[in-house]
Each structure stands twice: as structure tokens, then as C-alpha cells.
Amino acid sequence: MLITRTRAAMPLQCPKSAKTCRVHCGTMTGGAWSAQPHRRNARIGSLGQASTQNGRKTAASIHWRSASVHLDMDIRIIALLTALIYAGSSMASYAAPQETFIAPLISFESPAEVRAWRTVNDDVMGGRSLGGSVVEEGQLVFTGSINTKGGGFSSVRREMEPGALEGARAFVLLIKSDGRAYQLIARTNARFGGRYVSYQAAIPMSPEGEWSSVRVALSDFVPSVFGRIVPASEISPLEVNELGFIIADSVDGDFALSVRSISLERSRPDGG
């Protein structure tokens, strides 16, 4: 008599070994147990497990590729924004508002400019800085070396005809800087404490070694005496009788500033 006993529900993968899997998933034929179903179940389980692992690998691969694409896009966007910001900060021209216009004030193509500029260094107060200027190839070249033990400044200036700045809102300078901090200085007949007031305004930083057009507003000038801010009157453009450049950045070492032109941003007579 042939007796066959099978288990109604068999798992995909049997946790038993081939020798101990009689009750779990074996088949008895003629009083003998067969391990064949175990091997079949184990094979089915292995295929299911491999399929699950492959699915996980595929999902992980898709997720990694997706993350990689997003990261690449982020990097490209950051690079583009950086390029735009740098391009904006490196613009070599200044565009005046519509209600104003740019008028030339000083051109260094004129031979008269060679003799117009004079030097004032910190040796007037016991300092040891060196500096001066030359006019060559259509530009003013202001060079020297700052020594902070004693005064720490060097400047070059020229006289101006009173009234030359009438209607001016700002100076527009075409310069090539070495990356150090320079200031534009102006003088009138204003005094404080018995001394002449020097009006100073910072020249905006520009890319080192590149020609750049920068704007210095008349409203940015601050009254000072020997480098110290004083509560004197605001600068009066009509009364300016001296104009120049100064470096006093509290840093020892060489400096170099080239100036190709000095212009004025003036208000239009009709206001538009």
C-alpha cells in the first residue's frame, strides 16, 4: 500500500536542513522520507531571496543615481550663481542714473598734470613712509611704501579751482588698484580748532590689477583733522580747492595705485 503524506502549506524557504526537514516539508513514500521537497523549497526560497536582494540593489542604485543627478544640478547652479556674482562685482564701468550725467574733470593726457600734483607724506609729523606720483602714459601712478612706526600715510594732491565741482553728486574714477584701501581727499577753507579740515571718503575696493570704474559720493566725505573725525561742517562742493589720494590703512609695505581719469557725476539742469 502506497502512503504519501505532504504538508498542506510549505514555506518559500525552509529553515531546516535536508536531514531534519521531515516534519516541516518532507514527503514519505513507501515508509521512507524524501528530502526532494526540501531542496525544491530551498531553491524557491533562494530565488525569492535573490529577487528581493536584487530589488533592493536596483532601488538603491536608482536612489543613488537620483541623488547624484540632484547633487550635480546643485553644483552647477552654485557655480552659475558664483559666476554671476563675480561678473557683477567685476564690472568695469559705472552707469549714472538718468537724472545725472558724467562730466570729465581731470585727464592725465594733459602735460600740465605732470606739474600739478604734489606729495604730502607722514614725514610732516615725524613719520617714515615714502610715496609720490608720476604722470606717464596717460595715467597718474601713485606708489610708495607705508611705515606705520610714526604716521603711516602717504598722499598726493593737486589744487582745484573753486566752483569746478558745481552741481556734482559724486566722483567717478577710472583706477587700477593693488587691493589696498585708498581714500579720496578734498579740502576747502573750512577749519576746526584752528586747523584746516580734510574731507576724506573711502574709494570702493576693485579687482586687483584690473581697470575699474568706481563711484565716490560727495555725501560720503567725512571731516577730519590729522586723520581724526571732527564735528565740522559738511563738505561744500563749490568750495573745494584741493583734491587728492591718500593711503593710511595701517599696513606696512609697498603700494601702487594708477588713475586714468577723474570725472564728476552731475545733476542735469532740467532734472531729467
pLDDT tens-digit readout, 163-215: 999 999 999 999 999 999 999 999 999 999 999 999 999 999 999 999 999 99
**One domain for residues 116 and 199:** yes
Say yes or no: 24 and 130 in one domain: no
Domain residue limits at 23 = 4-87
Does this model's pTM top 0.85? My answer is: no
| φ, ψ dihedrals at 25, nearest 5° | -150, 20
Low-confidence ranges of the chain (pLDDT < 50): 1-48, 50-51, 59-60, 62-64, 66-92
**Residue from 37, 31, 32 nearest 6 by CA:** 37
In contact, 83 and 112? CB cutoff 8 Å = no
Evaluate whether 255 touches 145 at the Cβ level (below 8 Å). yes
Yes or no: say if 205 and 211 are a contact pair by the CB < 8 Å rule: no
Domain boundary among 36, 58, 87: 87
**Grid coordinates representing 271?**
532734472
CATH assignment at residue 141: 2.60.120.430
Same domain? For 171 and 104 the reply is: yes
pLDDT at position 183:
98
| Same domain? 18 vs 129 | no
Regarding whether 163 and 235 lie in a shared domain, the answer is yes
Residue 15 is predicted with a pLDDT of 47
Q: What cell was used for 56?
A: 533592493
Rounded Cα distance, 240 and 260, in Å: 21
- Quick check: 145 and 122 in contact, CB under 8 A? no
Cell of 48: 525569492
Do 53 and 166 sit in the same domain of this protein? Answer: no
| Total count of domains within the chain | 2
Burial class (CB in 10 A: 0-12, 13-18, 19+), 79: exposed
Q: How far is CA 108 from CA 32, 38, 114, in A?
A: 114, 100, 8
- β-pairing, 139-146 vs 130-136, is antiparallel
Q: What's the confidence (pLDDT) of residue 265? A: 97
Q: Left (φ > 0), alpha (ψ -120 to 50) or beta: where does 206 sit?
A: beta
Q: What is the pLDDT of residue 268?
A: 84
| pLDDT value for 154 | 98
**27 plus 62 within the same structural domain:** yes
Residues 244 and 120 in one domain: yes
Q: What is the pLDDT of residue 110?
A: 85
Residue with cell 581714500: 183
pLDDT in the model for residue 267: 87
Residue pair 153/146 in contact (Cβ under 8 Å)? The answer is yes
Q: Within this chain, do residues 71 and 8 fall inside the same structural domain, yes or no?
A: yes
In the sheet that holds 32-34, the strands lie side by side as 4-5, 27-29, 32-34
Residue 94: inside a domain:
no
